Amino acid sequence: MSAQIDMRAVNLHKHFGRRFVLRGVSLDFPKGLITVVMGASGCGKSVLLKHLVGLLRPDRGEVWFGSTRVDTLSERELGMIRRQIGFLFQQSALFDSLTVRENIAFPLREHGMKDEKLIEQRVMRMLDLVGLTETCDQMPTELSGGQRKRVALARAVVLEPRVVLYDEPTTGLDPIRAEVINELILKFSDALGITSIVVTHDLVSAFRVADRMVLLHEGKVLLEGTPEDFRQSTAKFVNQFLKGEVGPDELARIRASGESNARAHP
């Protein structure tokens, strides 16, 4: 595997019951770059992220972290890989019973760090990077949504991972707070050399941070390339997605569903 590729998905297939979510997704995630994965709800974005970190196993296909194949590892073996992967959850997923300091220190202690002085230094450095040192003794419930997201980001990078996965990082934030998160994604990529994989349907954020962009549609990669490649694309669905337009096929399905329900419930 090329030293320039930090993560790779090869021909991933995944279904849940009769619902096929991933249908042969193959993607490379280059070292040090920010790759944004976009698509409509239900297209497989978050399912792809969960495969990359080993929370889901593919029905078929492979997941690689560097030269290590991830999808065949035991839970114990996965622990060593996950130490090198930060994950920013969509809803932040902070522990409400722990202070901000304790939340950020949690991964350090979970991975065996015993030196309390070193833990404190690492925690305060991360809080400084996200501009929230003054919140260290507060509880998550005392923070705004934007602050919680920043604390969660500090926790995601406290182990100084090689890769950070972002699941809808700007969801629920107003444009000003969303821009703060965008700036932090760029900052961590630049200052720490982190490889970033960002799942989002926030187009403003996507074009703001992306080095590379991927559009998933019905479980397949429809387009991948630079932001400029997306702006110049003449593909019909790509243009509809970027403009936020509903395609005629989807409108027909919605109308047909409405008519069917009307007949079923006169």
- State residue 191 phi and psi, 5-degree precision: -75, -35
Helix axes 145-157, 116-129, angle to 10 degrees: 130
Tens-digit pLDDT profile for residues 219-260:
999 999 999 999 999 998 898 888 887 555 554 554 555 554
pLDDT given at position 196? 96
The predicted pLDDT at position 265 comes to 54
**Predicted confidence (pLDDT) at residue 212 exceeds the cutoff of 90:** yes
Q: How confident is the model at residue 213 (pLDDT cuts 50, 70, 90)?
A: very high
Could you tell me which residue, 258 or 83, shows the higher pLDDT? 83
Q: Residue 192 has what pLDDT?
A: 84
Q: Return the closest-CA partner of residue 146 out of 174, 167, 165.
A: 174
pLDDT of residue 250: 52
What's the whole-number average pLDDT of the chain? 88
Average pLDDT of the residues in 197-208? 93
Strand 212-217 versus strand 220-225 pairing type: antiparallel
Q: Which of 73-87, 197-211, 241-255 has the lowest mean pLDDT?
A: 241-255
pLDDT of residue 256: 59
**Residues facing 166 on adjacent strands:** 88, 198
Give the pair of three-digit tokens for residue 193. 């050399």
pLDDT, mean of residues 22-27:
96
Residue 254: the pLDDT is 47
Tell me the average pLDDT across 192-210.
93
pLDDT digit string, tens, across residues 128-174: 999 999 999 999 999 998 899 999 999 999 999 999 999 999 988 89
Q: How many CB atoms lie within 10 A of CB 162?
A: 20
How much of the chain, in percent, has pLDDT values that exceed 70?
91
What mean pLDDT is predicted for residues 53-62? 94
Neighbouring CB atoms inside 10 A of 245's CB total 13
Give pLDDT, residue 110: 87
Tokens of 216: 């998933």
Taking the domains of the chain in order of start, what are their residue ranges?
A: 236-266
What pTM, to 2 d.p., does this model score?
0.85
pLDDT number for residue 246: 58
The closest of 181, 142, 144 to 164, measured between CA atoms, is 181
* Nearest CA-CA partner of 11 in 81, 64, 56: 64
